[in-house]
């Protein structure tokens, strides 16, 4: 027992286990928070009927599986991997890793030497096992009466046609393809087509600006860009092709030429005739792809060959290209999807995330399709034509698993119960939450109103970097606590460390790290392994550092407390404060900017920007608008500051460092918590800023 891992000891001592069962009131009842005095007793028990049919039916069963996953990770993960198709089995070592910077280069490999293909496992394998005629994708358009669907067989044919087009246009194994598409079926089709031929997709969320897209084109130099002419978001038409044109023209002026821009005609949003066209470069999808053969040989790739690149924000202005490889990611997304949502063959699954984010990669496309699931894709916005749209979609497709973000829950909660209760929602079985901490009141509304107090909520904590869920409830297995992501997934060893990097045990708060790798971990930052090592592995040698703060309660449940670095989380979208600052200072009249996150009722966090203007420039409403616009243009509308605060000067230390701690307090109006301001070069700046707060 002495060499037993700390996390295991921890899980074993959890009060949800039999030894602690005495602490649990009314074991078989669903107890709702309001009736209980303190938060720590706010346990929501699984419905016994649900547990009876659940994949993991009790804390004991979880513990058994978790123990094995930690004590024998090679055995645990290779047993699961053997259920997938491998052209050639992996070598002797299931996993080789070094997470300790003091011991050399950070290196993570899973299933090295194994040959496989994730597209084959998503499609061909499911077809061969008799699911060819099962619906793979249901697509719901922005407008109520526009929809479509594809069976697994039909999806494979579409994927093969595009894969053949890509090959015919010179895309080879290892080449990068940038995808700038909204939530139409062509988006997962494109991801799968790239995977089929071993090309690396880099999906850019179609809400990013031309400037952001250009930056990504410069960084990964794609062979081809795939987009569509436009998309409807509610009543608004967004001309995506124009954004791509601007990005590509800037890239070519800077020496990166993209030879082909394959453009899908999204007819319901814009006609061909209205689309600007660059002859020689632009090709209509509908003109070329349907002519290609519907079969395409699979490119067998090594488990460690790259699958995709996804750019995400960090603490500097430059986005990071998170690189995921094939084998480990495949096994991890499939397994986490299956257990965290208690997936059954009869489920209809809808995740509201866009494929432009990691959630859409792992839990719209890969995780569900690897399990042979039926997936709903929705093109539009969740409150169009009204706040009942989500439940209309749930009833229309009989959705059983619904996975979304707290920001949407809060916004729908504000619109009132009536929009929810006018729909049946009887099909719902499991709910999920991701992207930011879900506050207990939103959790309860989601549970009580949306799920009729019947559906467990999987509050999944994870990141672009982790590839899949890390800390998550497993529905049916143990009681939940509103607002807690609960316990680690199989194979994951979360640890909480103090400032010095010492692991802290028991009830505690600190920095959330992970000990030992898991198959879905990212392997590097594209073209910058050094930044990978410094950002994630240097702060606390020996661990992966998540950038999040976390506390653990007496039952071993984890409570995420938000980012501890200069990253903010706006409606579940990750934005670096430095990115927004660099956009603001690119405005000719802005001399300096400091951005902080503030609590926001719906978005979780809002963007609050302090700006110092160039000498002699007066602050005006017009200037405020143009500062917001510059951020929209440089990053995207989702990063637009909620508040601009004019700062004739910023609070700085004598060495010139901006004291963000003070800015955060001013922004959140916690003026009695400003703390020590005597180290400022000019403490009077603080009063000046407070005085200007309401201007």
**Which residues carry out catalysis?**
565
Task: Return the closest-CA partner of residue 324 out of 308, 335, 312.
Answer: 308
Specify the residue, 282 or 436, whose C-beta has the smaller distance to ligand PRX.
Answer: 436
- How many C-beta neighbours within 10 Å does residue 13 have? 15
Asked if residues 547 and 515 have their Cβ atoms less than 8 Å apart, the reply is no
Specify the residue, 294 or 439, whose C-beta has the smaller distance to ligand PRX.
Answer: 439
Three-state DSSP at 128 gives helix
Least separation in angstroms between residue 527's CB and ligand PRX is: 19
Least separation in angstroms between residue 345's CB and ligand PRX is: 26
Least separation in angstroms between residue 682's CB and ligand PRX is: 34
Judging by DSSP bridges, how do beta strands 95-98 and 107-110 pair with one another? Answer: antiparallel
- CA Rg value for the chain: 25
Specify the residue, 161 or 466, whose C-beta has the smaller distance to ligand PRX.
Answer: 466
* Residues 447, 443: Cα–Cα separation, whole Å: 6
> Where do we find the tokens 């699911």?
131
Helices (H), ranges, 254-316? 285-288
Give me the residue whose beta carbon is nearest to ligand PRX: 464
Least separation in angstroms between residue 655's CB and ligand PRX is: 30
Specify the residue, 65 or 442, whose C-beta has the smaller distance to ligand PRX.
Answer: 442
Asked if residues 447 and 453 have their Cβ atoms less than 8 Å apart, the reply is yes
> DSSP secondary-structure letter at 617?
P
Least separation in angstroms between residue 560's CB and ligand PRX is: 4
* Residues 441, 450: Cα–Cα separation, whole Å: 13
> Where do we find the tokens 């001309």?
239
Least separation in angstroms between residue 497's CB and ligand PRX is: 16
Specify the residue, 199 or 203, whose C-beta has the smaller distance to ligand PRX.
Answer: 203
Contacts of 517 (CB under 8 A, 6+ apart): 95, 97, 99, 108, 110, 544
Residue 347 in tokens: 């489920």
- Helix 73-81 vs helix 327-340: angle between axes, to the nearest 10 degrees? 90
**If residue 203 lies in a helix (H) or strand (E), which one and from where to where?**
strand 200-203
Asked if residues 451 and 32 have their Cβ atoms less than 8 Å apart, the reply is no
Residue 383 in tokens: 């409150």
Least separation in angstroms between residue 449's CB and ligand PRX is: 20
Least separation in angstroms between residue 310's CB and ligand PRX is: 9
* Residue 69 C-alpha from the chain's centroid: 24
Specify the residue, 479 or 604, whose C-beta has the smaller distance to ligand PRX.
Answer: 604
* Burial class, 644, CB count within 10 angstroms (exposed 0-12 / middle 13-18 / buried 19+): buried
* Residues 69, 78: Cα–Cα separation, whole Å: 11
Specify the residue, 394 or 560, whose C-beta has the smaller distance to ligand PRX.
Answer: 560
Specify the residue, 305 or 459, whose C-beta has the smaller distance to ligand PRX.
Answer: 459
Binding positions for ligand PRX, rule: CB under 6 A: 312, 358-359, 434-437, 459-464, 485, 546-548, 560, 563, 569, 574
Specify the residue, 353 or 627, whose C-beta has the smaller distance to ligand PRX.
Answer: 353
Torsion angle, alpha carbons of 461, 434, 508, 480, to 10: -100
- How many C-beta neighbours within 10 Å does residue 146 have? 14
Least separation in angstroms between residue 631's CB and ligand PRX is: 18
| CB burial readout 581-612, b (16+ within 10 A) else e | bbbbbebeebbbbbbbbbebebbbbbbbbbbb
Asked if residues 666 and 639 have their Cβ atoms less than 8 Å apart, the reply is no
Least separation in angstroms between residue 180's CB and ligand PRX is: 18
| CB burial readout 153-182, b (16+ within 10 A) else e | bbbbbbbbbbbbbbbeeebeeebbbbbbbb
Specify the residue, 167 or 603, whose C-beta has the smaller distance to ligand PRX.
Answer: 603
Walk across the sheet containing 401-404 and list its strands.
Answer: 147-151, 135-140, 374-378, 348-351, 401-404, 430-434, 457-460
Least separation in angstroms between residue 499's CB and ligand PRX is: 19
Specify the residue, 513 or 644, whose C-beta has the smaller distance to ligand PRX.
Answer: 513
Contacts of 45 (CB under 8 A, 6+ apart): 24, 26, 27, 28, 29, 30, 31, 479
Specify the residue, 165 or 462, whose C-beta has the smaller distance to ligand PRX.
Answer: 462
- Residue by residue, DSSP assigns 396-462 as HHT-SEEEE-HHHHHHHHHH-THHHHTS--TT--EEEEESSPPPHHHHHHIIIIISTTTS-EEEEB-
Specify the residue, 186 or 436, whose C-beta has the smaller distance to ligand PRX.
Answer: 436
Least separation in angstroms between residue 301's CB and ligand PRX is: 25
Task: Return the closest-CA partner of residue 469 out of 480, 481, 458.
Answer: 458
Asked if residues 204 and 178 have their Cβ atoms less than 8 Å apart, the reply is yes
Least separation in angstroms between residue 570's CB and ligand PRX is: 10
């Amino acid at each position: 027992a002495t060499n037993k891992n700390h996390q295991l000891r921890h899980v074993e001592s959890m009060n949800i286990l039999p030894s602690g069962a005495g602490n649990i009131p009314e074991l078989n009842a669903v107890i709702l928070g309001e009736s209980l005095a303190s938060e720590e007793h706010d346990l929501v028990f699984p419905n016994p009927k649900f547990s009876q049919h659940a994949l993991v039916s009790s804390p004991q069963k979880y513990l058994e599986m978790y123990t094995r996953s930690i004590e024998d990770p090679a055995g645990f993960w290779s047993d699961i991997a053997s259920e997938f198709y491998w052209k050639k089995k992996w070598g002797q070592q299931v996993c080789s890793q070094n997470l300790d910077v003091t011991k050399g280069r950070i290196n993570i490999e899973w299933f090295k030497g194994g040959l496989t293909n994730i597209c084959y496992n998503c499609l061909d394998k499911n077809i061969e096992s008799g699911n060819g005629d099962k619906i793979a994708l249901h697509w719901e358009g922005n407008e109520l009466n526009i929809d479509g669907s594809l069976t697994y067989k039909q999806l494979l044919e579409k994927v093969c046609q595009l894969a053949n087009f890509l090959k015919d246009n010179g895309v080879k194994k290892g080449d990068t393809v940038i995808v700038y598409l909204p939530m139409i079926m062509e988006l997962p089709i494109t991801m799968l087509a790239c995977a089929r031929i071993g090309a690396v997709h880099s999906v850019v969320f179609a809400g990013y600006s031309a400037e952001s897209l250009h930056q990504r084109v410069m960084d990964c130099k794609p062979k081809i860009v795939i987009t569509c002419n436009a998309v409807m978001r509610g009543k608004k038409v967004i001309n995506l092709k124009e954004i791509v044109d601007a990005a590509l023209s800037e890239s070519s002026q800077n020496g990166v030429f993209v030879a082909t821009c394959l453009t899908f005609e999204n007819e319901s949003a814009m006609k061909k005739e209205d689309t600007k066209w660059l002859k020689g470069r632009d090709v209509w999808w509908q003109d070329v792809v349907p002519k290609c053969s519907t079969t395409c040989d699979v490119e067998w790739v090594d488990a460690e060959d790259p699958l995709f690149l996804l750019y995400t924000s960090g603490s500097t202005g430059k986005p990071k290209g998170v690189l995921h490889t094939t084998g480990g990611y495949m096994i991890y997304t499939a397994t986490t999807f299956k257990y965290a949502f208690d997936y059954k063959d009869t489920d209809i699954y809808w995740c509201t995330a866009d494929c432009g984010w990691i959630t859409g990669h792992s839990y719209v496309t890969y995780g569900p399709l690897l399990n042979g699931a039926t997936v709903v894709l929705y093109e539009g916005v969740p409150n169009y034509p009204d706040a009942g749209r989500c439940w209309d979609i749930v009833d229309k497709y009989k959705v059983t698993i619904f996975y979304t973000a707290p920001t949407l829950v809060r916004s729908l909660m504000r619109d009132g119960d009536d929009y929810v209760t006018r729909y049946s929602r009887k099909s719902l079985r499991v709910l999920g939450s991701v992207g930011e901490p879900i506050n207990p009141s939103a959790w309860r509304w989601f549970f009580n109103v949306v799920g009729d107090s019947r559906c467990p909520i999987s509050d999944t904590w994870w990141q672009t970097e982790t590839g899949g869920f890390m800390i998550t409830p497993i529905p049916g297995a143990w009681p939940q606590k509103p607002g807690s992501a609960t316990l680690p997934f199989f194979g994951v060893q979360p640890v909480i460390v103090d400032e010095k990097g010492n692991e802290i045990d028991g009830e505690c708060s600190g920095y959330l790290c992970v000990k030992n790798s898991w198959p879905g971990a990212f392997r590097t930052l594209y073209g910058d392994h050094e930044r990978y090592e410094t950002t994630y592995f240097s702060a606390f040698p020996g661990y992966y550092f998540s950038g999040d703060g976390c506390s653990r309660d007496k039952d071993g449940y984890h409570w995420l407390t938000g980012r501890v670095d200069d990253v903010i989380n706006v409606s579940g979208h990750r934005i670096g404060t430095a990115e927004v600052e660099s956009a603001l200072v690119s405005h000719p009249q802005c001399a300096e900017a400091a951005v902080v996150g503030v609590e926001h009722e719906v978005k979780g966090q809002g963007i609050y920007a302090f700006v110092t203007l160039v000498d002699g420039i007066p602050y005006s409403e017009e200037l405020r608008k143009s500062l917001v616009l510059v951020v929209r243009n440089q990053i995207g509308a989702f990063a637009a500051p909620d508040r601009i605060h004019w700062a004739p000067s910023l609070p700085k230390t004598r060495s010139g460092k901006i004291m963000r701690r003070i800015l955060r307090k001013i922004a959140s109006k916690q003026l009695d918590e400003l703390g020590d301001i005597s180290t400022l070069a000019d403490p009077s700046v603080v009063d000046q800023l407070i005085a200007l707060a309401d201007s």
